Amino acid sequence: MIEIDGSFGEGGGQILRYALVYSIFLNKPFKIYNIRKGRPNPGLKSQHLNILKALKMISDSEVKGDEIGSLEVEFKPGKIKGGNIFLDFRTAGSISLFLQTIFPVGIFSKEPIYLHLKGGTDVPGAPTIDYFENVIVKIVSRIIEKFEMKILKRGYYPKGGGEVKIFLKGKKSLYDFNNFKDFRKFLKENLNLNFEGGKLLEINGMISSSNILKEKKVCERMKEVAEKILISKGFRNFHFKYFYEDSISPGCSFTIWGEMENNGIVGNDILCKKGVPSEKIAEDCVNEFIDISLNNSVDYHLSDNLVLWLSLAGGKIKLSKKTEHFKTAIFVAKKFLDFDFLEKGDNLIFLVNI
């Protein structure tokens, strides 16, 4: 059984989330200890239990230690059957981070997966739900037969209350492959993971806000600033949408993304902060987005999500900043897989045996 120290690096829930995916993909059981040991209130939190609960709903997996505060979990992977998942987090727990495990697993489920989730859509420390849909999903769109997501309600920190429905069906079941080599070959042939960057072809953005901020025209002000910055930098092909709606907690978010001519993809997101003008929020987000696009073939926020697929199928990315999340993703991947990567300047080349 693979053993993993859950206190590695930042010691967050990311280690467990990625380990669960590799375990199911490779049919390798694991034991994780020291879960979030260095964090306030160490051990499993409700958002981690929701992931384990969901996996038990759609697979024959077995879990030991799945209780609040547990520092140790044993996971024995089982067949991914698919089916319905309804979960109300009852907190502002991030739906996007929950999907960090359930989404890749769901792609290779035997039957489609239907998700009905209530929780946080736009919360600190996690990608916005718009970033998930328009950046993370896109990198694996070639192996998905059908993906539909409806955001029924936004959920901001601290109370959450967001509501999302998802339908997911992949092009292949994990059990359509005779062996792991065939699985890797399928990924390599269908995922273009060589991100060469180039010029931005198109830029899109989504701005969401609570109705309580409508009188202050928060969305309109962010949209206006974003467009002015992009025009001043010579960009013309961009489009922003915005909307207001009721939410339990007041809040707003700004998400921007763009595809590059040589398969690169860049995104950025930011949450509104009390006391910080809307104009400043938009300015910071758009300027960082432009900086990333000029220096990378993928944005560093996406890099840890890419490690899963790169470690399985190989590929090349340009990355000038290796985040702690990226390093943690590499740590987990190496527990399950034999692969390596070369560093040539800002270029990281993942090498796998297929």
Residues 6 or more apart in contact with residue 237 via CB below 8 angstroms: 201, 202, 203
Whether 325 is catalytic is yes
The whole-angstrom separation of Cα 31 and Cα 8 is: 14
Cβ atoms of 227 and 263 closer than 8 Å: no
What is the separation, in whole angstroms, between the first and last Cα of the chain?
24
Structure tokens at 73: 């979990």
Cβ neighbours of 182 (radius 10 Å):
13
Residue 10: count of CB within 10 angstroms of its CB:
16
Within a 10 A sphere around the Cβ of 354, how many other Cβ atoms?
Answer: 15
Backbone φ, ψ for residue 202 (5° rounding): -155, 145
Question: Catalytic pick from 116, 239, 301, 325?
Answer: 325
Residue pair 46/68 in contact (Cβ under 8 Å)? The answer is yes
- Closest by CA to 4, choosing from 351, 334, 341, is 334
Question: CA 347 to CA 349: how far, in whole Å?
Answer: 6
Contact call for residues 328 and 14 (beta carbons, < 8 A): yes
Amino acid at 104: P
| Residues assigned a catalytic role | 325
